[in-house]
Amino acid sequence: MTAAIEWAEKYRPSTLADVVGNKKAVHDFRSWAEEWLEDIPEKRAVILYGPAGIGKTSSAHALARDLGWEAIELNASDQRTAGVIEKVAGSAASMNSLFGGKRLIILDEADNIHGSSDRGGMRAVSGIIKNTQQPIVLIANDLYGLTPTIRNLCLEIKFLGVQSRSIVPALRKICDGEGLQCSPEAVLKIAENAGGDLRSAVNDLQAAASGRKLIEARDVSTGERDVKENIFKAMQKIFKSTDPKKALEATYGLDESPEDLVHWIDENLPVQYAGEGGDLEDIRTGYSYLSKADLYLGRVKKRQNYRMWRYASTLMVCGTSLAKSKPYRGFIKYQQPSVWRRLGQTRATRNMRDNIASKIGEHCLESMHYSRSNLLGLYSRMANDEASAVDVTAGLGLELEELMYLTGSKKASKKLQKIYDDARELQAAAGGREEAEFFKPPVEAGGRQKTPASGPAGTKLKTPGFFSEAEVSGKEAVSSETTETTAPVSSDRKQRTLDFGFDNVQDSETKYGKIESEVPSEVPSKVPAEVPVEIEVPAEVPVEVEVSSEVPVEVEVPAEVP
């Protein structure tokens, strides 16, 4: 005995013309796809977002069939790490199908690419979109579950819940196809109970038809599926109802925790109570109850006692409802909590900042936290200086977006693009960042960089942090106190190495200010005073090296030097 086929799959629309509702969204979607028939459009990917069960994924597959494209889908049941996405979607995005047509890459539930199982997935998606030669469709319930970088790269098309009057004809069509008799009252009841979710309506119809050929209204059970109350309808009842009991009941079916609900009320309370004919005293009273509710939420976190949620919910909902001195009428467009939007908008920026700080920390042998707090500002000034921007970009291995962040640029100008291209050429000439001898400063016990000591011929004189390396080959005896030498410095930029354009610490301090944290003054490098060594240092700018005889440093001494 074979399992029954789900009607939602059996009657999935085969063309865009069969998609129920959302005519404008479907039209915009097809218009974007038709741009691919002529050339690669400005927006290489599209985001179809909206509630579940309204036809987003079905529209993507229907479009592929309409245009004769091959559809390649990655959904939530697949592992979606960076490697998997690049292997499946990346390879598909770079070549045509077997018969020369387009490939439509569909990434379902793209807003759920999070956690360790999908590590690096979002970054991989962003990279594929930038370079794809094939159309890409991202399906999401929550637009703000995607990073700002991805949203900026894509065309956004919103799908709305399907109205019950549009669901009714679709259900009747299925009844005809299954030879099922269904009363008008039963069809309408199923459609209204769906809450705009066409897929759920079809599933409810199939459940009601189990073992029957005739469906009456009494056969339709509204308790088979928990229809969650819409948060916006709940806001209406909280702010406009004068009955606190009804306001509280409106929150029972919400898919929102009290910790989320308090943000919704906080965001919309002043908008509702400060409108036309509003009363500031109502706002004060409402926030008084809201602050008490927040105390209970804090105790929930501190004591892990979730029974206190009920007290918090009662205070925030009933208190806000009772705070008004009169009923408020008129339409108010309730807003999603702005704190969530700000966090979503800044998440990519914070990730970018931490990535750069990690590269700086790796380069300077410092922690990411230390680099972010103490070195990021300095590198930003260096990246904005034409003389050192290329070397900074090459030395850290920055991507173009990271260079934009470091310079404070909102878009990739021709100047930034040239800096980035020059840095890539510099890396290629050195054999790539992984193979090139990028500066790795010496480390003291405890993890801090130490001041480089002078050494004999054949050793490298290394300056701390971001400064350039120099081969030491000159001849100069080092005294037990301070050694000052000068030598000509080559100005031939064609022969420049992968440094940051500075010849010594004093040069950098003059230009960018002294960095107190780079070399602790109380931990100078020491070499024995009695050992004469030969050194070569970039000159015309004197270099001072403080030495002492307390801690010996191993140095190479040429055989001819006693």
Residues 195 and 237 in one domain: no
Q: pLDDT digit string (tens) for 273-321?
A: 876 566 788 889 999 999 999 999 988 888 878 888 889 999 999 999 8
Residue 285 structural domain: 231-326
Query: What pLDDT shows up at residue 63?
Result: 93
User: Which single residue is written with the structure tokens 């379902």?
Assistant: 108
Q: pLDDT digit string (tens) for 184-201?
A: 888 888 888 887 888 888
Please tell me the total count of domains within the chain. Answer: 5
Q: Which residues are registered as beta bridge partners of 215? A: 182
Question: Is 437 a member of any domain?
Answer: no
pLDDT at 497 over 70: no
Strand residue runs (E) in 396-534: 460-462, 469-471, 482-485
The residue ranking higher by pLDDT, 542 or 261, is 261
Question: Is 391 a member of any domain?
Answer: yes
Domain at 31, CATH number: 3.40.50.300
| Tokens encoding 30 | 């097809």
Question: d(Cα 132, Cα 94) in Å, to the nearest integer?
Answer: 6
Question: Is 293 a member of any domain?
Answer: yes
Query: What pLDDT shows up at residue 495?
Result: 39
Q: What is the mean pLDDT of residues 323-330?
A: 78
Query: What pLDDT shows up at residue 405?
Result: 86
Binned at pLDDT 50, 70 and 90, residue 411 comes out as confident
Residues 74 and 203 in one domain: no
Residues 408 and 524 in one domain: no
pLDDT at 47 over 80: yes
Binned at pLDDT 50, 70 and 90, residue 460 comes out as very low
Residues 347 and 489 in one domain: no
Query: What pLDDT shows up at residue 194?
Result: 82
Q: Which residues have CB under 8 Å from 517's CB, separation 6+?
A: 370, 374, 375
Residues 248 and 273 in one domain: yes
Domain at 193, CATH number: 1.10.8.60
Question: Is 154 a member of any domain?
Answer: yes
pLDDT at 454 over 50: no
Q: Which residues are registered as beta bridge partners of 469? A: 462
Of 30-34, 146-150, 405-409, 496-500, minimum mean pLDDT range: 496-500
| Tokens encoding 495 | 């022969």
Q: pLDDT digit string (tens) for 87-97?
A: 666 666 666 65
Q: Which residues are registered as beta bridge partners of 107? A: 74, 138
Query: What pLDDT shows up at residue 120?
Result: 61
Query: What pLDDT shows up at residue 110?
Result: 85
Question: d(Cα 321, Cα 241) in Å, to the nearest integer?
Answer: 7
Residues 41 and 153 in one domain: yes
Domain boundary among 282, 298, 326: 326
DSSP element (H, E) containing 140: strand 136-140
Q: Helices (H), strands (E): how many in the chain?
A: 22, 11
Question: Is 332 a member of any domain?
Answer: no
For residue 300, the SS3 value is helix
Q: Which residues have CB under 8 Å from 167's CB, separation 6+?
A: 20, 190, 191, 194, 198, 201
Question: Is 225 a member of any domain?
Answer: no
- Tell me the torsion sign for CA atoms 180, 183, 184, 186: negative
Q: Is 443 left (phi over 0), alpha (psi -120 to 50) or beta?
A: beta
Q: Which of 437-441, 474-478, 530-534 has the highest mean pLDDT?
A: 530-534
Domain boundary among 158, 179, 201: 158
Residues 546 and 465 in one domain: yes
Binned at pLDDT 50, 70 and 90, residue 217 comes out as confident
User: Which single residue is written with the structure tokens 């009772």?
Assistant: 322
Q: What is the mean pLDDT of residues 13-36?
A: 91
Question: Is 335 a member of any domain?
Answer: no
pLDDT at 84 over 80: no
The residue ranking higher by pLDDT, 161 or 474, is 161
Residues 211 and 238 in one domain: no
Report DSSP state, residue 467: P
Residues 422 and 451 in one domain: no
Residues 125 and 239 in one domain: no
Query: What pLDDT shows up at residue 504?
Result: 44
Q: Are 443 and 361 in contact (CB under 8 A)?
A: no
pTM of the model: 0.45
Helix 414-429 to helix 386-396 angle, to the nearest 10 degrees?
Answer: 50
Query: What pLDDT shows up at residue 465?
Result: 40
Question: Is 191 a member of any domain?
Answer: yes
Domain boundary among 158, 175, 193: 158
Residues 489 and 405 in one domain: no
Neighbours of 372 (CB within 10 A): 18
Residues 117 and 20 in one domain: yes
pLDDT at 527 over 80: no
